[in-house]
Structure 1
Amino acid sequence: MTLMDIGDGELWYEEFGSGDEIVLSSAMGFARGAYPEILAAPPTSYHVYTIQARGFGRSTHPSSPPEIGWLDQWADDVCAFADRIGAERFLYTGISHGGGIGWHIARRHPERLKALISVVGTPHDRAGGTESSAGRRRFIEQRKDPAAVTAILEHLAGWTDDPERIASRKERFAAAAAETAARPQDEAEINQGKPFPDAKTDEELAEVYRGIRLPVLILAAMRDGVISPEAALRAAVNVRGAKAVLFEDEGHMMGEESPERLAREVRLFVDELHGVAEPPMRA
């Protein structure tokens, strides 16, 4: 990993693969071997950059929240990063809050995107207002209590009856709780709120979607404790030409738990964009 100077700050990033298709992804951090990294491996073999969002890790830490809001700032940062690597247009994919960054790019800078691939990242329902999700507020308030953080993560991930997944989550969530408790104060208190905060109702949010005119793939989990199935479907039925894949047996952690499954869907989607996808089998 290394730092990229984008003019008004620096972004810590990692580069994977060397294919012709450039994919950018941004988030507070990335787990090793998770979904964006998998996209750089065969059979997708894309050229992937994972970008640590401003305010986290080794990226620039502003002294106060951006005046334009965190999500708009992160969206602008991704485009500034793209400028530095000479990518006029690119695929963007993001998980959860990283997906929110992608939706803000789609609204602010649609000309930069070949396509948006949102993974458990469609904007939240408007219930409870637009400041933040209830889970994020609890996470910030209870971040020093490992047991409370673990319980929140278990709820957000969604239920599973897979013994291997249960065991894996227990180990990962314990490590995440310890990391959260040790996180610097300025990072721990970042609360980006819900995407598109100007949309105060679900209908206003649907209207925002109707203004987005670019290829969008929505990968959603029906056991998600953060993004409801209704939220995913709201985007799917209002973004013109959107494609949605809904997994009944997945939860909010599917980017780490099922990266190969996601990569297959992305490859098919991108091949469809290029007109090289295999035609469906006929009986």
Structure 2
Amino acid sequence: MSDHLQITTAAGAFDALCGGSAGGQPVLLLHGFPQASTEWGHVVGELGRAGFHAVAPDQRGYSPGVRPEEVGDYRMDDLVADVLAIADELGWSRFDLVGHDWGAAVGWHTAAEHPDRIRTLTAVSAPHPAAIAAAYREDEDQHLRSQYISVFKERSAEKRLLADNAAALRQMFEYRVPPSHIEDYVTRLSEPGAMTAALNWYRATRWNVAPEAVSVPTMYVWGTEDVAFGSTAALACGKWVTGAYRFEMLEDASHWIPEEAPDALTALLLDHLR
């Protein structure tokens, strides 16, 4: 069971799901595209019951209260700043950080750039950005898997994803995500400006630079059926962690691990966080 929370920062008001009491060990969970905090509902509830204080915000562009219109407002620097601002508002000087997909990318950057704030990192699905970049250059399979990124940057991407009752958006989930969650995402991303804001994360990547290696204890969780990230990048991820590193491979799991295998992920998380 998770509750709703609003976290007001200088950038605006972030909507969030939360579980557990304020005195528990703090854990911040970041969602990916094209999702929202909804993807962490089960995990947040379980972490709360286990004594943690878990908070999953709707990130920049996904929270209506933080939806700037300019592409330049979705640079990685801004996304990392949001993480720290949210933690500051929650009174967290140091916390565990968990991210999936784009949320994992933000997590890699935050942990690399602010190791004093991050107790542990858990990245789900998306490897370290430098590992992805190397695989994109050297591995034809990863190069092909990453073609969707250029499609998302096109001006027509919003219309294409939302046409025919968001048929293309729905198809992305490969029947691996609960139908109620898909309806939630479609409703959210159909709001005026919401899909553009979400796609601006991709369009702003021209300003982003891959982070350095991560020194905090890190767990990377990858599903063998992930269509976006292949084994080359996944297996190279450890090269970009100088601290304690743990690689967990979920057989037959797709890109959508937090919703497809929430119990398996929660068990790994509890072990890592403790």
Which category describes the TM-score, using the shorter chain as reference length?
Answer: 0.7 to 0.9
Structure 1 residues 177 and 54, CA gap change in structure 2 (3 angstroms) = closer
Q: Does 1:37 align with 2:44?
A: yes
**Structure 1: tracts of 5 or more residues without a match:** 155-165, 200-207, 272-283
Q: Distance in 1 between matches of 2:270 and 2:189?
A: 37
The DSSP-based 3-state class of the residue aligned with 2:104 is helix
More helix by share: 2
| Larger displacement relative to structure 2 (85-94 or 19-28) | 19-28
* Alignment map for 1:1-283 (pairs within 5 Å): 1-18=4-21, 20-27=24-31, 29-31=36-38, 34-42=41-49, 44-66=50-72, 69-123=74-128, 125-126=132-133, 127=136, 133-138=146-151, 140=157, 142-145=160-163, 146-154=166-174, 169=177, 171=179, 175=183, 178-179=186-187, 182-189=190-197, 190-193=199-202, 197-199=208-210, 208-209=211-212, 211-240=213-242, 241-271=244-274
1:174, CA displacement in angstroms?
A: 6.2
Alpha-carbon offset, residue 99 of structure 1: 1.0
Distance of 1:269 and 1:151 partners within structure 2: 33
Q: TM-score, structure 2 length as denominator? A: 0.77
After superposition, the Cα gap between the structure-2 partners of 1:73 and 1:31, relative to the gap in structure 1 and judged at 3 Å, is: same
**TM value normalised by structure 1:** 0.75
Letter aligned with residue 200 of structure 2 = N
Q: Which residue of 2 aligns with 1:162?
A: none
RMSD across aligned positions (CA): 3.1
Letter in 1 for 2:231: P
CA contact (8 A) 1:38 1:260 kept: no
**Is the 8 Å Cα contact of residues 124 and 222 (structure 2) preserved in structure 1?**
yes
The answer (yes or no) to whether the contact 2:224–2:251 under 8 Å persists in 1 is yes
- % same residue: 21
* Residues 195/103 of structure 1: CA separation in 2 closer, same or farther (3 Å cut): farther
Aligned length: 247
Structure showing greater relative contact order (alpha-carbon pairs closer than 8 Å, 6 or more residues apart): 2
User: Structure 1 149/46 Cα, relative in aligned 2: closer, same or farther at 3 Å?
Assistant: same
Taking structure 1 as reference, are residues 32 and 97 closer, same or farther at Cα in structure 2, changes over 3 Å only? closer
Alpha carbons of structure 1 residues 93 and 177: separation in structure 2 relative to 1, 3 Å: closer
Shift of 1:45: 2.8
Alpha-carbon distance in structure 2 between the residues aligned to 1:122 and 1:152: 20
SS in 2 for 1:4: strand
